[in-house]
Amino acid sequence: MRRDADRHHVFSRRAALLAGGKFVLFSALGARLYYLQVLESERYKTLADENRINLRLLAPPRGRIVDRFGAPLAVNRQNYRIVVIPEQAADVEATLDSLGRLIALAAGDRRRTLREANRRRGFVPVTIRENLSWEEVARVEVNAPDLPGVLIEVGQSRDYPHGPDTAHVLGYVAAVSEDEVGGDPLLQLPEFRVGRTGVEMTYDANLRGSGGSSQVEVNAFGRVIRELNRREGQPGAEIALSLDLELQRFAHRRLADESGACVVIHVHSGEVLAMASTPSFDPNPFNRGLSVEAWRRLMANPRAPLINKAIAGQYAPGSAFKIVVALAALEAGVITPKTRIFCSGEMTLGDSKFHCWSRFGHGWIETAQALVESCDVFFYEVAKRTGIDRIAAMAERLGLGRPTGIDLPGEEGGLVPTREWKQAVIGGAWQPGETVITGIGQGYLLATPLQLAVMIARAVNGGNTLTPFVTRPPVSADADEVRVGAGDAEFVTLGFERANLELLRRALSGVVNAPEGTAHRARIERPGYEMGGKTGTVQVRRISRAEREQGIRKNEDLPWEMRDHAVFVGFAPVHEPAYAIAVVVEHGGGGSKVAAPIARDVLNEVQRRAPATRLLGERRDDGRQGTRSSVSPAAEGG
């Protein structure tokens, strides 16, 4: 009995301990459940919602780019793309075969689609092709029952409606590279594009806008069930340019198949009204993704279609530089309007002979007439008397030798040689013969077409500074301000003697309008539209004595790459200058024969259209102050 009682007590203690242990465990479990279900309920509800609801970033529409009158230059168009959902298509390869009988599918698109379909989850759409035409979309939609898993989606794509005509100014957009992503979530979107060159690059931050968002409900596998909320992004700012689209197209087509550039600016405001560079390229494929073959063709083209020659092409200015030499000598008092120098057709300096373009010379010739007939010997002698230091200082005052400050990327600064530059870069002392050839715009001198346009503008606008520009700061939609027009910057005088500037203007008018002028055949005959200017023919190789004696036609008888560059700088109208132009045609031959006629036609067109005057008038009508302008009634009447 006693043994049974002892066993009963032991069993009771064990049962009590076991019951106590269970009570403790269930109490802890209950406490944990209370903690999770009551105290932490909101937190886990939030976590569950976050797993159920995905927040997706939406790319904003890129801001438009328009010309000075609001004509669209860069816009966004609907981008129809075709996608396939692998789990619905079952056999993706067979679906692609069926689709290939309806629309064109490149072998690369097929390989990429199959590769991505194998890598991703079956319900994730895979893009097959973008930028479908409406006809292709219609064919796919009509045959949709026979294409399981194939869908048409609509997005936005950058479009340049005028393609090559505006490519170098606008630039283009392209996909974001991996090293650019950084911490900006917008840059991580596969369809997002950033500016690479031109205005697209300069104002990329303004054009991007701000992203939107979309809340979608997903299941445990990540499949989208429905969209709960959507907030569209803020479109990028609209950028308005100083360009006149029709004038831009005219200048581009007037250059035609030549390799070169044409720049038109307003001589008082600095507005760039046209900036053409040829050959050009179509910027639209860069947005879609340029093929390797197309890129190689562009890079292999010896005429460099990707380079904006207006701001990055550097050329010796040739006889157009005589404007600088003449003004430097006049301002320094080295010569006067009555200075006469005898031209026999050549000048001797030491053991070297420097030839004039006129084989038999010009005889006794005065300053203005030397510009009209472009006498080389006259400017050899004037450059020698003036010296490289004063010539270089004048060139810099007129805008050469450094970037103009235009709001476009990739501008080159050109080169105005000095004694210090030669010693530092080449070594050795400056030689008198180098001053002589600088006097006719050859030697080490380099300038861009835009710099040449600024040079002639400063020479004929009364001797005032100006900075060229193609864009104005972005303006919000509700801002009470005219978007584009002549700049409002204060002008700084360069301090030239008015008599010297007047002599220069008359001489440059004679270059075109006097019968003996080098560009007389390219004159504008319409009254009130007459232009002035200076021709230039730039040698790209040394002419041997044998060639000179044999009278070889140095341009027509040579390969294209060995021919002279053709240069013309000009302005119009001559009685009250408003527009300045610079034309450079690579290996085009004579400036009077090739470049001057192009400038004539473009200046005639710009005066007919009078874009700066029209816009200035709009500003005055709106009650706002316009920029100082000397546009004549004849120019306004175009």
Query: What pLDDT, on a 0 to 100 scale, did the predictor assign at position 182?
Result: 67
Report d(CA 463, CA 495) in Å as an integer. Answer: 7
Coil/strand/helix, residue 239: strand
Whose tokens are 């789990």? That residue is 87
Residues in CB range of 139: below 8 A, 6 or more apart: 102, 103
Residue 319 bears catalytic tag: yes
Domains and CATH numbers, the chain: 56-240 (3.90.1310.10), 245-290+310-474+481-637 (3.40.710.10)
Burial class from Cβ neighbours inside 10 Å (0-12, 13-18, 19+) for residue 241 reads buried
**DSSP letters for 500-519:** HHHHHHHHHHHHHHSTTSTT
| Structural Rg of the chain based on CA atoms | 36
**DSSP letters for 434-475:** HHHHHTTT-TT-BB-HHHHHHHHHHHHTTSB----BSB----
Report d(CA 365, CA 358) in Å as an integer. Answer: 13
> Is this structure's pTM higher than 0.85?
no
Query: What pLDDT, on a 0 to 100 scale, did the predictor assign at position 49?
Result: 54
Tens-digit pLDDT profile for residues 452-506: 999 999 999 999 999 999 986 444 444 433 333 334 445 689 999 999 999 999 9
Report d(CA 592, CA 518) in Å as an integer. Answer: 6
Query: What pLDDT, on a 0 to 100 scale, did the predictor assign at position 592?
Result: 92
Residues in CB range of 253: below 8 A, 6 or more apart: 165
Active-site pick, 157, 280, 319, 632: 319
Tens-digit pLDDT profile for residues 134-184: 899 899 888 888 888 888 877 788 999 999 999 999 999 988 876 776 667
- Read off φ and ψ for residue 568, nearest 5 degrees: -150, 130
Count Cβ neighbours within 10 Å for each residue of 437-446 and write b for 16 or more, e otherwise.
Answer: bbbbbbbbbb
Q: What's 90's DSSP letter?
A: S
Whose tokens are 């991007």? That residue is 208
Task: Give the largest Cα separation in the chain, rounded.
Answer: 155
CB 634 within 8 Å of CB 528: yes
The helix (run of H) or strand (run of E) holding residue 66 is strand 65-66
Which mean pLDDT values do the consecutive 10-residue runs of the chain (638 residues) have? 58 74 80 73 58 69 93 91 83 89 86 82 76 88 85 85 97 82 70 90 92 67 62 88 96 95 96 97 88 90 96 97 98 97 95 91 97 97 97 97 96 97 95 96 97 98 95 49 41 91 97 97 96 94 62 68 93 96 95 96 96 53 32 30
Q: Residue 281 has which token pair?
A: 């390229």
Tens-digit pLDDT profile for residues 372-426: 999 999 999 999 999 999 999 999 999 999 999 999 999 999 999 999 999 999 9
Query: What pLDDT, on a 0 to 100 scale, did the predictor assign at position 486?
Result: 39
Query: What pLDDT, on a 0 to 100 scale, did the predictor assign at position 110?
Result: 86
Query: What pLDDT, on a 0 to 100 scale, did the predictor assign at position 632?
Result: 31
Nearest alpha carbon to residue 565 among 592, 522, 542, 536: 536
**H-assigned helices in 35-91:** 41-52, 86-89
